[in-house]
Amino acid sequence: MYVTLYLVLPVYQVGFKAGIIGFLLVTLVCGLTISTIFQLAHVVEGTQFPQAQLHPDRIEQEWAIHQVRTTANFATGNRVLSWLLGGLNFQVEHHLFPKISHVHYPRISLLVKQTCLEFGVPYLEYPSMHQALYSHLMHLKSMGKPLASA
């Protein structure tokens, strides 16, 4: 179905060259967009990457705490960006409440922040997309440094 809708039909309608160029352009834009969103939500300074210690199929944190510690929000005050991204800039709330519409995330985030503060759980949020992108780049830079020998 996918191949028919996104390759065969366009090639049939506009020709081989234009159909393939259109497909590659759409795939590039969508792939770059979604990969950027997920990098800014998961691979930034401050997000944690816990590993199971005693049992390889378990981690020591509760599920909700794990979700909060391994994700970050960005540009939550930017209503246009929130609309364009379908609320995925509210990644913490998206993980905690995946079946709730993203239009409720701004109000839910206030409750989640307050609860995290109350229980001492770090809530990671970058005020802008640029700051999250910078943090992502700094995280990649720190990950690229060689480990110190013991």
Calculate Rg over the CA atoms of the chain. 20
* Predicted TM-score (pTM) above 0.85: no
CB 94 within 8 A of CB 88: yes
Compute the mean pLDDT over every residue in the chain, rounded to the nearest whole number.
Answer: 92
Convert the pLDDT of each residue in 73-119 to its tens digit.
Answer: 999 999 999 999 999 999 999 999 999 999 999 999 999 999 999 99
Amino acid (one-letter) located at 34: I
Q: Is the pLDDT at 148 greater than 70, yes or no?
A: yes
Kindly list the domain boundaries of the chain, sorted by start residue: 2-47+60-139
